[in-house]
Amino acid sequence: MRHQRKSSALLSGALFLTVAFAAGPARAAAVAESPICLRVEYLANPLGIDAHAPRFQWIPENTERDEKQTAYQILIAGNPSALAKDSGDQWDSGKVESGDSTQIAYAGRPLESGHRYYWKVRYWDKEGAASPYSEPAYFEMGLLERSDWKGQWIGGFNMMRKEFTLDGRVERARAYVTALGYYELRLNGRKVGHRVLDPAWTVYPRRVLYSTYDVTRLLKPGTNAVGAMLGGGWATLPIGKPYCSEPAFLLQLNIDLEGGKQLSIVSDGSWEGKQGPVVSDSVYDGEVYDARVEVSGWDQPGLKDSGWAAVKILLGTDGALSSQMMPPIRVTDTLTPKSMTNPDPGVYVYDFGQNTTGWAVLQVRGSRGTAVKMRYSELIYPDGTVNRANLRAAKSRDIYILRGGEPEVYEPRFTYHGFRYVELTGFPGTPSLDTLRARVVHSAVRETGSFVASKQILNQIQQLIHWGQLSNLMSIPTDCDQRDERQGWMGDAQVSAEEAMMNFDMAAFYTNFIRDIRDSQHLDGSVPDTVPHKYGMYPSDPAWGAAYPLLCWYMWQQYSDRQILEENYNGLKKYIEFLRSRAQDNVLRYSYYGDWVAIEPTPGELVSDFYFYYDTRILADIAKILGKTEDAATYSTESDQIKDAFNKAFYNPHSDFYANGSQTAQALPLFLDLFANPLSRYNYNPVFGHLTNDITYGHNTHLTTGFIGVKYLLPVLTEYGRNDLAYELATQTTYPSWGYMIERGATTLWELWQEKTGPSMNSHDHIMFGSLGAWFYRALGGIRQAEASVGYRQLVIDPGIVDDLDWASASMETVQGRVSSSWSRSPGSIKLDVTVPVGTDARVLVPKEEEMTVGMVKVTEGGHLVWQDNRFVAGDAGVVGAEAVVNGVRFRVGSGHYSFALTGE
Ligand code: BGC
C-alpha cells in the first residue's frame, strides 16, 4: 500500500482521485488517508457555536512515513448536497499552502444564528498529492445576538410548564436553554438530552452559558407540553452573598414546521408553576424529594391538576448569554456496590470500592410516606459506620419520601456528592446489594492519554490521578468534591493542568475556564484565589493567580492556541503589572498559602517571587509570539531584574542554598534556571547537590514539599540527571508519598500527605498532588516537546530507563495526531516503539543500558539495520539520521510508526 501511494504521488489531486477509483479495491486503502477527527472549536459536530470565526482542526492521516501536510482546502456549505458536489458555497478556503491542521479560523461569508453548516477538508502531502476529502462533518451556530432571545427569565416555582399547539409536522426544532442554578428541561414527558447539573457554573453577573438541544423528534403535531424543573445550584448557595435569591430559567425553543412556518416558544409570563416534589436542594447538603407531591403527567399535554399559578418574571442577569462550548456534565458510568454491611440495627453501609463524584440511585418499595435517607462519605470508622467528619458543614445526604405501593426508583438531580460509601437508613424491610447503584458524574471530557508501566504502584497512582482528576471537573476545575467547598481554587488548577491535558482532552474546558478568570479580573488587574470567586482572597496568592498566565501558556504549548494568547494579552499584562505594583525592589513578597500542605515549610515570599518571575517571563514570551516586540523586550528585561533580585533575596552564598534549605526552596529556582552560578567553586551545582542530599540523607528518600513544590521537584531531578531519584520518590510507599496513600487504601488522591480522618481539613479527593501525572508521560514514557515546539510539531522521545522498570508505555492523542512511546528491556537488548504524527519531526533516543558502550551497540528498526559500528546506516524509510549520545543513540525521524531494537554489550 505504501508503494502504491508513492507511485501516485506526482499526480494532481483530482487525477489521483480518479485513478484511485479506476484502480479498484487495490487502492481503496488510500481513502482511509483522508483527514480524520474533524473538530470545530475543539468539539466534534457541535451545536451552538457562538464564535463568529470558529476554528477548525483535523488530523491528516497518512500511513506513509515521513509525511506531512503541505497544503489544505476546507469547504463549507449551507447544505449537505452542495458539499457532496464539492461546493463550498459558504466558504471555500481554496488551496492554502500550510502545514497547519489546527486553529484554522473561518474566513467565509457571515455565519448566521441557528444555522447548520457542513464541512469537509482535504490536504496535500509532501509530494504534492491531494488526499481524498474527509467524511463530511457539521457545526451549528448558536444564538449569536441578544435579540435572538425573545423570552424572559422566569421562576418563583421549582416546577414550571406550558402547553402549546403545533399545526403541522415538525421539520426542525432547537431548544436553547439556561438557568441561574440548575434546570431539567422536559418535553412531552421526556427529559431533554443527557446533560445533568447544567448549565456550567460561571461568573453569572458577567456570563451565563446556554445549552443547545436538537428536540425535533420530541415534538409532534397538535398539543405539546414543555416543562422545567429548577434547582438552586451555585446560584443560590449561601456562600458569601448568593448570586440570586431564587433560581431563574430562560428558554428559546425555535420550531420550523413543514411548509416553512416558523414559531418560537419562550419562557415568559404565560407559563404556570407549582412547587414540585423536590422539597429542598443544595449542592452541599443534597436533596429532599417527596414523591407524594409528584404530579403525574405534569410535563405532558392535557394536564388536569389544580394549584398551578402564574410564574414570576425575574431579572435574571445582565451578563452575556454565551453558548456552552465544552463537554457538559454527564453521568459517565454506573457502579455496583462491592459490599453491604449492617453495622447497627437499621443502618446499612454500601461500599462502592471507589471514591467518586455523583450520587446514588435507590430502588425501594414500601408504604407511602416512608422516608429513606442516604448519607454519603469518603471514609468509614473501624466499626463500619460512615465517617463524615471531613465533610465539615456539608450535609451531603439525600432523602426520599415514598409514594407507596409499586416499586420506586429515585436519584437526585440538583446536587452531587463526593463519596465511596453510602449509608442507608429508614429503608422499609431489608435492603440488598441491588438496592443502590452509584452514578459517576463529572464534565465528560474525553480520555486522550494512557500510561502503563511494569511497576504496579505507578499504574495504581495513574488510576488515582484519573479518578481524582475527573471527579474534580464539575464545569470548573475544583479542589475537592465532597466538603462544603468544591471551589475553582486556582493553585490546584494550575498545578494539575498539564497532567489533565495529557490524560484528557481539556482544550474546550480550559478555554471556558480562562474566560471565567478574565470575567473575574478586577480593574486593577488582580484575579481572585477561586474562580468564580467565592472563597479566598482578592488579590489571589501569587501562586494561585499564576493559573491565569500558566493556563494560557499550557493552552499554547499543548494545543497551539494562539487565540487564547491574543484574547488574554491585555488581561495578562494587567495582571503582571498588578504584581509589579505590589513588588518592592523587584521582589514580590506577599503570600497567603505558599507551598501549601508542605511537610517542611518554605518561606511564602520565595514561592510568590518565583511566580512573579515565571509570570513575567511567560508574558515576555507571549509578547514575542504575538509580535509585540517592544513589550517583549521590556518584560524580558524585567524578568532578568527579578531574577537578580530573587537570588539576592533568597540565595545564601555561605550555605550555598536557597532560603531555609527546604526542597521546594531549591526545586523552584532550579526549575526556571534561576540559580546564577550552576557550577560553583566545587565544580558542581551546589543547590542541586543540597536538594538531592536533603532527599536522600535528610529524609531517607522522601519528599517534604507541598503541592506547589511537588509540581517541580520530580521534573527538576529528571532534568538535572537524577531520574533514578525522581523514580524512587514516585514509587516510595512509606510516608510521605503517593504510594503511602495507596497502601492506606486510597482510591483518589488525598489533600494531605498525612492520613487524617478527623474533622480537620483532609479531603480524600484532591487533585493537586496529581501533577505527578505529567512526569509519568515525560520522564518515564519519554514523550516531550522540543524547546519552543507547540502542539507537538517537534517531538522529543526520551524514554526514562530506570533500574527497577522493565517497560513503560505512554500514548497521547495530541492536536497533531497520536503520539506514543513504549519501551521494554531484556538482558542485552532494549526495544522502543514510537508513533510520530504526520507533520511532526522527532528526535528519538534509543537508550542503552548503562553498562553498554555506544560503540558496541547495534540498532535495528523494523528489522532493518540503522546503527552499527558507531555509524548511522541510512536506507530505512523515515529514519533520516542518527548520532551517538552518552545514554544511547539519538535518531531523527519523520512521521510514522517505528520499532527500534538496540542490542549490544
Ligand atoms: C483548598 C486547597 C486550596 C487552599 C488554599 C483549601 O481549602 O482545598 O486545595 O488551594 O484552600 O489554601
d(Cα 248, Cα 317) in Å, to the nearest integer? 9
* Ranges of H-type helices in 791-863: none
Look at residue 905 in the predicted model and tell me its pLDDT: 83
Among this protein's residues, is 751 annotated catalytic?
Answer: yes
Look at residue 692 in the predicted model and tell me its pLDDT: 97
d(Cα 856, Cα 417) in Å, to the nearest integer? 59
The three cell numbers of residue 408 are 420506586
Q: Is 516 in the pocket of ligand 1 (CB under 6 A)?
A: no
> 630: CA distance to ligand 1 center in Å?
38
Look at residue 682 in the predicted model and tell me its pLDDT: 61
The percent helix, strand, coil of the chain (3-state, each to 5) is 25, 30, 45
358: left (phi over 0), alpha (psi -120 to 50) or beta: left
* Ranges of H-type helices in 651-704: 663-671, 686-693
Q: Is 485 in the pocket of ligand 1 (CB under 6 A)?
A: yes
Closest CA to 708 of 741, 678, 663: 663
Look at residue 854 in the predicted model and tell me its pLDDT: 85
In degrees and rounded to multiples of 5, residue 581 shows phi and psi of: -65, -20
> Which residues are registered as beta bridge partners of 397?
375
Look at residue 760 in the predicted model and tell me its pLDDT: 84
> 479: CA distance to ligand 1 center in Å?
7
Q: Is 492 in the pocket of ligand 1 (CB under 6 A)?
A: yes
* CA neighbours closer than 13 Å in the CB half-sphere of residue 779: 28
- Ligand 1, atom 5, residue with closest C-alpha: 593
Q: Is 596 in the pocket of ligand 1 (CB under 6 A)?
A: yes
Low-confidence ranges of the chain (pLDDT < 70): 1-32, 678-683
> 514: CA distance to ligand 1 center in Å?
19
870: left (phi over 0), alpha (psi -120 to 50) or beta: left
Residue 37, burial from CB neighbour count under 10 angstroms (0-12, 13-18, 19+): middle
Among this protein's residues, is 171 annotated catalytic?
Answer: no
Kind of pairing, strands 320-323 and 207-214?
Answer: parallel
Choose, from 41, 61, 485, 861, the residue flagged as catalytic: 485
Q: By the 8 A CB rule, do 564 and 548 touch?
A: no
Look at residue 679 in the predicted model and tell me its pLDDT: 59
Q: Is 547 in the pocket of ligand 1 (CB under 6 A)?
A: no
> Buried b vs exposed e over 602-613: b needs ≥16 C-beta within 10 Å?
bbbbbbbbbbbb
> 506: CA distance to ligand 1 center in Å?
22
Look at residue 680 in the predicted model and tell me its pLDDT: 58
Pocket test for ligand 1, best of 484, 492, 544 (most atoms within 8 A of CB): 492
Q: Is 738 in the pocket of ligand 1 (CB under 6 A)?
A: no
pTM assigned to the model: 0.95
Closest CA to 768 of 354, 412, 469, 403: 469
Look at residue 800 in the predicted model and tell me its pLDDT: 86
